[in-house]
Amino acid sequence: MAEITAATVMKLRKMSGQGMMDCKKALGETEGDLDAAMQLLRKKGLATLEKRAGRDTSEGKVLCNVSDDRKTGVMVSLCCETDFVAKGEDFGVAADQLLACGLKAAADEGPEALLNEDVDGKKYSELLTDLVSKTGEKTEIGDYVRLKSSGVIGAYVHFNDKVGAMIDVEADSDATATAVQTVSNEICMHIAAMNPGALDKDSFDPAVIEKERAVAAEQVKDKPANIIDKIVDGKIAKFLKDNCLVDQVFVKDDSKTVGQALIDAAKAAGGEAKIKRFVRIEIA
C-alpha cells in the first residue's frame, strides 16, 4: 500500500473539493490510489443523489445571459434543497458553469442535454455529482430556455435569484430595438413580479378560460337567466385583462398597460414594436 501523505490528501482535496477527512478516508479505502479515490468520492455523490431522489429542490439560482447585440438570451436554473447551500460559493460556481453550458448548447436542446456539455474536460454531470458529494444535498438542473430575436431580448432576474424572465421583442428597425431596450427589461421585471398567464387573450389556454367560465357561472347561477351570460362574459373579460401580459397594468407606470408602455417607447423613436413571446422561470 502506498503511503498516504499530507500532500496526496491535499491534492485530492483540490481535485474534488471535499473535506480533509473525506479525502483521507477515500485514499485509505483505495490504498492511496488518487484516481480511484476520486472515483470513490464521485460514487458517494451518486449514492447521495439516489438516496435523496425524492427530496424537494425548492432553493437555488436562476441565471441569465444576453448577448452583446441583444439578439440571443439564455436562462437556466440550478436547484438544491436549502438556501444555505444555494448561497454557498461551490453552488455559485456550479450555477455559473451551467449557464456557460447553456450558452454553448444547441437552441433546440432541453435541460437534460446540458449534463453532457464539456466543462474543462469533464461532463457537467460529473461536476454536479462532485457538488452533491460535497454538499450532501440533491442538486439538479431546473429549466433551460434560449430565445433568439430579430429585434431585442429583454431580461431580468430578481427575488433572491429565484425568479427570472425574458422577452422577445419584435421591432421594425435596429434603431427601434435599441430604443426599447430599457422598457423591455422593465417588462421582464413586471413579468417576474406579476406572473402573467399568457401574452394576450389569443394565446391563453382555452381549457383555463373554460374552467374560469364554469367558476363564474357557478357564482351567478341564482341571477336572472337572461343576464347570466352577460355577467359571465364580463368576468371572463376581467380575468383576461388581469392575466394577459399586454393588458396588465404596468408596474413601472400604472397609467399604462404593459403593451402600451412598449408601444410608446417605440413611438418615441419613430418606430413600432411588440412582444412576440415571453418566458418566466421560478424556483419554488
Residue 82 lies in a domain: yes
Judged against a pLDDT cut of 80, whether residue 203 lies above it is answered with yes
pLDDT at 53: 64
Q: What is the pTM of this model?
A: 0.80
E strands within 113-228? 118-119, 122-123, 140-148, 152-158, 163-171
Structural domain span for residue 11? 6-51
Judged against a pLDDT cut of 90, whether residue 25 lies above it is answered with no
Contact predicate 147/168, CB 8 Å: yes
pLDDT at 33: 78
Residue 134 lies in a domain: yes
Same domain? For 11 and 38 the reply is: yes
Arithmetic mean of pLDDT, 26-48: 72
If one counts the domains in the chain, the total is 4
pLDDT at 111: 84
- DSSP state letters, 123-137: EHHHHHHHHHHHH-S
- Tell me the per-residue pLDDT of 187-199, one tens digit each, with 9 for 90 and over: 999 999 999 999 9
Same domain? For 198 and 252 the reply is: yes
Residue 11 lies in a domain: yes
Q: Within 10 Å of residue 194's Cβ, how many Cβ atoms?
A: 18
Same domain? For 162 and 271 the reply is: yes
pLDDT at 18: 62
- Tell me the per-residue pLDDT of 45-54, one tens digit each, with 9 for 90 and over: 655 555 666 6
CB under 8 A, 24+ apart: contacts of 46-53: 46/129, 46/132, 48/132, 48/133, 48/136, 48/137, 48/138, 49/129, 49/132, 49/138, 52/81, 52/137, 52/138, 53/138
Same domain? For 124 and 17 the reply is: no
| 19-23, 221-225, 273-277 — most confident range | 273-277
pLDDT band for position 221 (cuts 50, 70, 90): confident
Residue 1 lies in a domain: no
Same domain? For 270 and 173 the reply is: yes
- Tell me the per-residue pLDDT of 84-128, one tens digit each, with 9 for 90 and over: 999 999 999 999 999 999 998 876 677 888 998 999 898 998 888
Q: Within 10 Å of residue 241's Cβ, how many Cβ atoms?
A: 14
Same domain? For 215 and 279 the reply is: no
CATH assignment at residue 143: 3.30.479.20
